[in-house]
A and B are shown apart, each in its own frame.
Chain A
Amino acid sequence: MRESKTDRTFNIFNFVFLTIVALLVIYPLVFVLSASFSNPQYVVSGEMWLWPKDITLDAYEKVFKNKDIINGFVNTLKYTVFGTILNVIMTILAAYPLSRRDLKGRGLIMAFIVFTIFFSGGLIPTYLLIHDLGMLNTFWVMVIPNAVAVWNIIIMRTFFQAIPHELEESAKIDGCGNFRILWSIVLPLSFPVIAVMVLFYSVGHWNSYFQALIYLQDQDKFPLQLILRQILIQGQTDDMIKATSESFLAQQLSVEGLKYAVLIVANLPMLMLYPFLQRYFVKGVMIGSLKG
């Protein structure tokens, strides 16, 4: 069918609009990347505006020599790995029984869990609880209070419910207990949803700073995001450059470079995982939206 004139105008407008949107989104990211490789002098003067100018790795050298950043990176890695393992296990423990139609009390337990989305005790009572449990300023506070997310239970439950019921029935006739059914029939079929969960939870752990801000006091336990906050937002960069013999102006400049480089380093795992992240995240949103 031939396109009418208005349709052609529409197409052109559509193309231009979407391209502008995409450029607006990508430009700040490209700028940060380029700035991190440039001589900070050109960044500050505005001469570097798209591609790196006078390429240098000085800023990255400073980042990797910085004990706080490295320590924060390692801490975040620990919190992310242990947190995600616990999250995924807990989500399976909740989602599988709740996906079984023959479980008595299923509706009641589901309501008990979903209620917490709509009404929570809030910051202060939760803080007092964590305090009373003696979890303040410990490794555990970064892992246990967010052991499972209700929305993810719902996503996983929806996935489990889509597994043909006959598979479980025939396993039961063969004398399989519920543990066996979960372990050898349901879980092997659930790789896609488990991958979605691993990515959902690990991105959440990697990016979160709130938990750490509220519950951690020691600098050596801080995750990367809190260190980033100190550098980027509070401007606590004095001790990072004090030791160097540069002039004051040169120091100011190298702080600038360091800020861009640390942004890139903090997002490195995300950047590398992005192709997977995008695919599985989109899948997760789709599963969630079916019943949502």
Chain B
Amino acid sequence: MTNMSESVEGVKEDGVHRKKSEKVKKKTGIGWMKSIRRNWELYVLLTPVILYFLVFHYFPLYGLQIAFKDFIANKGIWGSPWVGMKHFERFFDSYYFWRLILNTIGIGVFTLVVSFPVPIILALMLNEVKSLRYKKFVQTVIYAPHFLSTVVVVGMLLLFLKTDGLVNQVIKIFGGTPIDFITEPAFFKSLYVFSDVWQTMGWSSIIYIAALAAVDPSQHEAAMIDGASRFQRILHINIPAIMPTIVILFILNAGSVMAVGFEKVYLMQNDLNMSTSDVISTFVYRSGILEAQYSFSAAVGLFNSLINFFLLIMVNQIAKKVNETSLW
């Protein structure tokens, strides 16, 4: 008896639920079932994409737990024993910890300070060029290095800077003694940053050039009638017009100061300049892939991604307060 009444009540409750959910459905438009029936093809199209992200992007997130374990290959990710924060502690206590952190921040901040403003200045100046042909010519030239690979750029750098390379020949002409730029630790960061400027300034200016093209010409006309000089118009019309773009890109760039890429640093690295060139990503590669210390280097990598994540959120938050422009 009791069982029956319970089940009756259950049915009643189900009924109530159904009514409620139907109401909700009416509010939001189409329900899941209907949507799937109507657009099932779209979900079919999405399936390989979702599978790809699950396998190649979400599964590694699951695999990150080895940072807190001692990974043993034949026990697998799940079966390896937990060790808590052991690998993190080992990293924090190691003698190379501060060297890695300072090099990573150093390169990141140096890049931000030098590489970030150059494209803005370039775009502002290109915008003032009246001859379209000349403008086009300059753009064609300065975009070109964007299409060179990192290997090619570093290869060129080495060819130009070796002891009998182009730069040292010029130094010799002026009576100086050749400098071995490549192996000298003091030059590493400058070489890294200025070759980066060389390669990316043109390309990065495109987005600002586009934003400048959207400035209303009547603003300039009005300012000209009021007697404003070119420089004043740049300062008071053009720069405010591209400010939102600048802020967004600044957030993205500042949020990734600790995410110094592996590719170029690794190619420019040699045994002699390690004291200034070793960064977190190259360290993870060496200890993880070359020395197979999977758990330890996964912990170092995780530490770095956590910092990057919080940096981005922090910079975004600050920008929101100060400027009312933000990513989200």
Interface residues of A (CB under 8 A from B): 1, 4, 6-7, 10-11, 14-15, 17-19, 21-22, 24-26, 28-29, 31-32, 44, 46, 49, 90, 93-94, 96-98, 100, 102-105, 109, 112-113, 116, 118-129, 144-145, 147-148, 177-179, 182, 203, 206-210, 214, 225, 228-229, 232-233, 259-260, 263, 266-267, 270, 274, 277-278, 281-282, 285-286, 289, 292
Chain B residues contacting A209 (CB-CB under 8 Å) are 149-151, 263
Let me know if A225 and B229 touch, CB within 8 A: no
A178–B248 Cα distance when bound, in Å, is 36
Let me know if B42 and A103 touch, CB within 8 A: yes
Chain A residues contacting B298 (CB-CB under 8 Å) are 122, 124-125
Chain B: interface size category: 35 or more
- B64 at interface by CB-CB < 8 Å: yes
- B164 at interface by CB-CB < 8 Å: yes
* Min C-beta distance of A93 to chain B, whole Å: 5
* Min C-beta distance of B140 to chain A, whole Å: 6
Given contact pairs A97-B43, A125-B63, A11 touches B151 in the complex (Cβ within 8 A): no
| The residue from A14, A26, A46, A210 contacting B129, defined by CB atoms under 8 A apart | A14
Given contact pairs A14-B128, A25-B202, A177 touches B230 in the complex (Cβ within 8 A): no
| The residue from B30, B41, B55, B297 contacting A124, defined by CB atoms under 8 A apart | B297
B7-15, B31-39, B96-104 - interface stretch: B31-39
Chain A residues contacting B281 (CB-CB under 8 Å) are 123
Given contact pairs A22-B142, A31-B166, A104-B30, A120 touches B156 in the complex (Cβ within 8 A): no
Chain B residues contacting A113 (CB-CB under 8 Å) are 49, 53
Chain A residues contacting B126 (CB-CB under 8 Å) are 18
Q: Secondary structure of the B side of the interface?
A: helix
Which of chain B's residues has its CB closest to A92's CB?
A: B45
A102–B166 Cα distance when bound, in Å, is 61
Let me know if B48 and A93 touch, CB within 8 A: yes
B183-191, B271-279, B301-309, B318-326 - interface stretch: B301-309
Chain B CB within 10 A, most for which of A121, A123, A179, A229: A121
Which of chain A's residues has its CB closest to B172's CB?
A: A46
Chain B residues contacting A274 (CB-CB under 8 Å) are 144, 147
Given contact pairs A109-B46, A178-B41, A25 touches B198 in the complex (Cβ within 8 A): yes
- B95 at interface by CB-CB < 8 Å: no
| The residue from A98, A104, A118, A292 contacting B312, defined by CB atoms under 8 A apart | A118
A10–B127 Cα distance when bound, in Å, is 13
* Min C-beta distance of B280 to chain A, whole Å: 10
* Min C-beta distance of B225 to chain A, whole Å: 9
Chain B residues contacting A128 (CB-CB under 8 Å) are 63, 66, 71, 77, 294
Let me know if B61 and A121 touch, CB within 8 A: yes
Chain A residues contacting B288 (CB-CB under 8 Å) are 123-124, 127
Let me know if A129 and B60 touch, CB within 8 A: yes
A112–B231 Cα distance when bound, in Å, is 46
Chain B residues contacting A103 (CB-CB under 8 Å) are 35, 39, 42
Let me know if B289 and A123 touch, CB within 8 A: yes
Chain A residues contacting B206 (CB-CB under 8 Å) are 282, 285-286
- B152 at interface by CB-CB < 8 Å: yes
A21–B232 Cα distance when bound, in Å, is 23
Chain B residues contacting A46 (CB-CB under 8 Å) are 166, 169, 172-173
Interface residues of B (CB under 8 A from A): 30, 32, 35-36, 38-39, 41-43, 45-46, 48-50, 52-53, 55-64, 66, 71, 77, 122, 125-126, 128-130, 134, 137-138, 140-152, 154-156, 158-160, 164, 166, 169, 172-173, 198, 201-202, 206-207, 210-211, 224, 229-231, 245, 248, 262-263, 267, 281, 284-285, 288-289, 294, 297-298, 301-302, 304-305, 309, 312
Which of chain A's residues has its CB closest to B210's CB?
A: A286
Given contact pairs A120-B57, A122-B302, A259 touches B46 in the complex (Cβ within 8 A): no
A260–B155 Cα distance when bound, in Å, is 9
Given contact pairs A21-B138, A124-B66, A266-B149, A28 touches B156 in the complex (Cβ within 8 A): yes
Let me know if A7 and B229 touch, CB within 8 A: yes
Which of chain B's residues has its CB closest to A270's CB?
A: B147
Let me know if B46 and A120 touch, CB within 8 A: no
Chain A residues contacting B142 (CB-CB under 8 Å) are 21-22, 25
A129–B134 Cα distance when bound, in Å, is 51
Let me know if A177 and B41 touch, CB within 8 A: yes
Given contact pairs A4-B229, A25-B202, A289 touches B166 in the complex (Cβ within 8 A): no
Let me know if B140 and A97 touch, CB within 8 A: no
Given contact pairs A22-B138, A97-B43, A210-B262, A32 touches B267 in the complex (Cβ within 8 A): no
Let me know if A22 and B141 touch, CB within 8 A: yes
Which of chain B's residues has its CB closest to A230's CB?
A: B151
* Min C-beta distance of B111 to chain A, whole Å: 18
Chain A residues contacting B60 (CB-CB under 8 Å) are 120-122, 125-126, 129
Let me know if A232 and B52 touch, CB within 8 A: no
- Further 14 A-B residue pairs, CB within 8 A, beyond A28-B160, A266-B152, A289-B211: A10-B231, A18-B125, A98-B46, A118-B309, A123-B297, A124-B288, A124-B301, A125-B62, A128-B66, A144-B56, A178-B39, A209-B149, A209-B151, A260-B159
